[in-house]
Structure 1
Amino acid sequence: MTSYPGGPGMSGTPGTPTRGIAGGKYWAGAAAAALVTALSALVATVILRVFDLMPLSPNWLPETTVAVRFAILGFIGALIAAGLLYVLLLTTPGGDSFFGWIIGLVTLAMVVVPFAYDAVMADRIATSLVHLAIGLPILGLLPGVADRAAVWK
C-alpha cells in the first residue's frame, strides 16, 4: 500500500490521516476496467459491421479481425490509463481531476483524428464511434476503481 496526503485539510503531517491505495485491489479493478473497455470496443465494432460500416483499424497489430484489433487497443489503452491514474494519485494533489481532463482530451482527440484520414466518411465516423467506445469506459470506470481502492491510515 502506498500513501499520499489526501483530501481537504489533510496535510500529511504526523497525526493526520493519510490516504493510500490498496495496490492489489486497485490493479484487479484496473484489469476488470480494461476487460470492459476491450469488450466495449469489440461490441461497438460488431454493431457497426452489422450496419455495413467498416472502422479503420490500425494495420500494425497482428493479423486479426478489425473488432479484435480494437479490443486489443482498448485493453492496452485502459491499462496505460490505469498506470497514469496511479502515478497521478501518488504524486499530484487532485490527481483524479487531472486524470479526467487528460483522458477526456485524449478521447476527444482520438474521436477527431479519423476525419483527417483519406477514407469514406461513413468509415471515418465509424472509427470515431469506436474510439469513443474505448475512451468512455476508461473515463467512467478507473476513477471509481481508484476511489474504492483508497484506504485511510
Structure 2
Amino acid sequence: MSDYPRDPRQAQPGVDAARLWAGGVATAVVAALIAIVGLLIARGIFAVEVLAPKGDGVWGNASTTTYAVVAAIVALLATGLMHLLSVATPAPGQFFGWIMVLATAIAVVLPLSLTVNVSAKIATALINLVIGLAIAVIVSSMAANARTRYRRTTPEQAPTRQWDRPEPPSRYYDS
C-alpha cells in the first residue's frame, strides 16, 4: 500500500502544536534552572559578581530571579520562532540553527563588551552560552519530534496505514 495520502491537502507536513509547546514549557523550566545553577556556581564556588554585588550573598538579589525568568522567556520565544519557521519555511531546522547561533553569540559577546570586572564578564558570558546552547539543542530536537508527516484538520482525515496480511495458514495442510 502506498505511503502517500489520498487527499492532496494532507500531503503538506505539519507540526503537532500541543507537543511543541509542551516541550517549549519544559525547555523554559530547564533554561531557568540552568540560569540559577550558573549563578549559584559563579557566586558560591568562584565568588564572582554576576548581575548583583558580592554583598548580596550566593543567591543574590532579585536579579537572580529576573535572570531565570528572562532565560525562560527566551526559551518560549525560541519555541514560538521554531513553530513559525516550521509552518512557514522550507528548512526550519537550518534557519532556527542559524538564528540561535547568532542570538547566542550576541548574548555571549554583549557582557564581554561591558566595563565591569573581567571575571564577571567571563562568568556571565559562559552562563549565557550554556543557556543558549541548551535552548537551541532542546528546541531543535523537540521540534523534530513534534513534526507530523501530514497536516490534519480533523481526526477523520488522519491517514491510516493498511497492512497487507497474509492469509492465515489452514489448520491442516491440503494434500
Question: Structure 1 length as normaliser, TM-score?
Answer: 0.82
Query: Is residue 2:20 matched to residue 1:26?
Result: yes
Q: Pick the aligned partner of 2:64 from 64, 67, 76.
A: 67
The letter of the residue matching 1:52 is A
1:6 equivalent in structure 2: none
The whole-number CA distance in structure 1 between the counterparts of 2:9 and 2:16 is 20
Query: Is residue 2:48 matched to residue 1:53?
Result: yes
The whole-number CA distance in structure 2 between the counterparts of 1:18 and 1:92 is 12
1:5 equivalent in structure 2: none
The whole-number CA distance in structure 2 between the counterparts of 1:83 and 1:68 is 23
Which digits, 9 at most, give the CA deviation of each residue in 1:94-142, with x for residues without a partner?
0111101101111011101112211111111111012112201111100
Report runs of 4+ in structure 1 exceeding 4 Å deviation. Answer: none
1:60-99 alignment runs, 5 A limit: 64-99=61-96
Q: Pick the aligned partner of 2:29 from 24, 35, 47.
A: 35
CA contact (8 A) 2:29 2:72 kept: yes
The whole-number CA distance in structure 1 between the counterparts of 2:85 and 2:37 is 30
The whole-number CA distance in structure 2 between the counterparts of 1:64 and 1:92 is 42
Any unmatched runs of 5+ in structure 1? Answer: 1-9, 58-62
CA contact (8 A) 1:41 1:130 kept: yes
The whole-number CA distance in structure 2 between the counterparts of 1:133 and 1:68 is 17
Give the share of equivalent positions with the same residue, in percent.
34
RMSD: 2.1
Any unmatched runs of 5+ in structure 2? Answer: 53-59, 151-175
The whole-number CA distance in structure 1 between the counterparts of 2:80 and 2:95 is 14
CA gap of 1:68–1:15, structure 2 versus 1, over 3 A, is: closer
CA-CA distance at 1:64 after TM superposition: 4.4
The whole-number CA distance in structure 2 between the counterparts of 1:97 and 1:128 is 24
Q: Give the number of the structure whose alpha-carbon radius of gyration is greater.
A: 2
Q: How many residue pairs are counted as aligned between the two chains?
A: 137
CA gap of 1:123–1:90, structure 2 versus 1, over 3 A, is: same
